[in-house]
Amino acid sequence: MEKSDEEWRAILTPEQFRVLRQKGTEAPGTGEYNKFKGKGVYNCAACNAPLYVSDTKFDSGCGWPAFFDAIPGAIKRYEDSSHGMRRIEITCANCGGHLGHVFKGEGWKFTEADERHCVNSVSLTFQEKDDNKQIEST
C-alpha cells in the first residue's frame, strides 16, 4: 500500500502519523489499549488490516500493549539498531506502518516463542468480537 505523506496526513491524526509513518513511540502508560481487556481483533490504525487477536494479549507491565504472537502474515520484522540497542522493529505487512518492537528471551514461559510484541496503542484500532462471527486469521 503506497501513499504519499500528504495522503497519510489526511487520514491519520498527527500522533498516528508520527508513530506509524515516522517510527515514533507514544509515552509509556498513556495508550488506550495498554490495560484494555476487550475480546476481539486489533487492526492497523492506518489500513485496518487485522494484526493481533485479543487471546494473544497479556499484561507485561511495560507500559504498552503486549502480545505474544501476531496473526500469521500480518506483520513484518526488521532489525533495528537505533538508540544504541539491538531490537526487532515490527510493521504492518499491508501498509508498512510502524507498530513497535519485538523483544525475545525475557522469560515469558506461557509464550512458545518467548516473545513480547510491544505495540503502540496509537498504531491500533480495536474491533470487538461478535460471538456469532468467527475471527478470521489472514
Beta strand 115-119 pairing with 124-128: unpaired
CA dihedral 108, 111, 113, 115 (to 10 degrees): -50
Using alpha carbons, select from 39, 102, 108, 96 the residue that is nearest to residue 70.
102
DSSP lists the bridge partners of residue 40 as 128
Task: Check residue 137 and give its pLDDT.
Answer: 45
The answer to whether 118 is a known catalytic residue is: yes
pLDDT band of residue 81 (cuts 50, 70, 90) is: confident
Q: Looking at per-residue confidence, does 131 or 13 come out higher?
A: 13
User: Is the model's pLDDT at 108 over the cut of 80?
Assistant: yes
- % of residues, the chain, pLDDT over 90: 77
Using alpha carbons, select from 28, 16, 97 the residue that is nearest to residue 66.
28
Q: Looking at per-residue confidence, does 84 or 38 come out higher?
A: 38
DSSP alpha helix (H) spans, 67-113: none
**Using CA atoms, how far apart are residues 40 and 38, in angstroms rounded to an integer?**
6
DSSP lists the bridge partners of residue 128 as 40
Per-residue pLDDT of 18-62, as tens digits, reads 999 999 999 999 999 999 999 999 999 999 999 999 999 999 999
Domains of the chain, each with CATH number or no CATH: 5-128 (2.170.150.20)
**Using CA atoms, how far apart are residues 99 and 89, in angstroms rounded to an integer?**
8
Residue among 44, 92, 95, 118 flagged as catalytic: 118
